[in-house]
């Protein structure tokens, strides 16, 4: 039986997912592990696991910005201060790249080709997203967006099984 879905919706575009359930959450703590760090969001339901090759930049998306540096450019104390704010945008690209924007103007980037550690998002100790995409679709509703109209795509309901295909054990037909 599928668990009841949580509030919040993941918006799926052709090239990325917008993890709306992350919006408004604040990084309350960072666990510094040997090969990665874990951003624990308020409420302890969400964890964002990232490698030390993740980059931070103030207010710019430009890859060649002189203000964009890997996380180890700053001290742990500085990182904890920079990220101790609300997430305002959470884009997880189908290439595996990530872009998290924070209310204070800082933006966290994770490359589509992570170095030694592959990023992930956990919810209630279950993997919600990793570089392969949305792993557990039972946690949140996912709405696909039509790239031409910007409208939600509603797939048609599967038709019920036709009466003539009812289970007949006496039949040799593999379709029965």
Is the pLDDT score of 174 beyond 70? no
pLDDT in tens, 103-132: 999 999 998 886 778 899 999 999 999 988
Entry pTM:
0.79
Q: What is the 3-state secondary structure (H, E, C) of 103-143?
A: CCCEEEEECCCCCCCCCEEEECCEEEEECCEECCCCCCEEE
Q: How far is CA 65 from CA 53, 56, 123, 156, in A?
A: 16, 10, 33, 45
């Amino acid at each position: 039986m599928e668990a009841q879905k949580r509030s919040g919706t993941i918006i799926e575009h052709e090239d990325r997912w917008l993890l709306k359930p992350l919006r408004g959450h604040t990084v309350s703590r960072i666990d510094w592990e040997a090969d990665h760090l874990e951003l624990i969001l308020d409420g302890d339901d969400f964890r964002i696991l990232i490698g030390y090759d993740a980059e931070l930049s103030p207010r710019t998306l430009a890859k060649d910005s002189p203000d964009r540096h890997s996380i180890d450019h700053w001290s742990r104390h500085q990182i904890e201060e920079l990220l101790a704010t609300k997430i305002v945008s959470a884009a997880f690209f189908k290439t595996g790249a990530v872009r998290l924007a924070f209310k204070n103007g800082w933006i966290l980037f994770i490359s589509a080709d992570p170095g030694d550690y592959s990023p992930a998002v956990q919810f209630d100790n279950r993997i919600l997203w990793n570089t392969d995409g949305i792993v557990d679709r039972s946690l949140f509703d996912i709405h696909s967006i039509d790239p031409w109209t910007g409208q939600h795509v509603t797939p048609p309901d599967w038709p019920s099984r036709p009466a003539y295909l009812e289970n007949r054990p006496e039949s040799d037909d593999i379709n029965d």
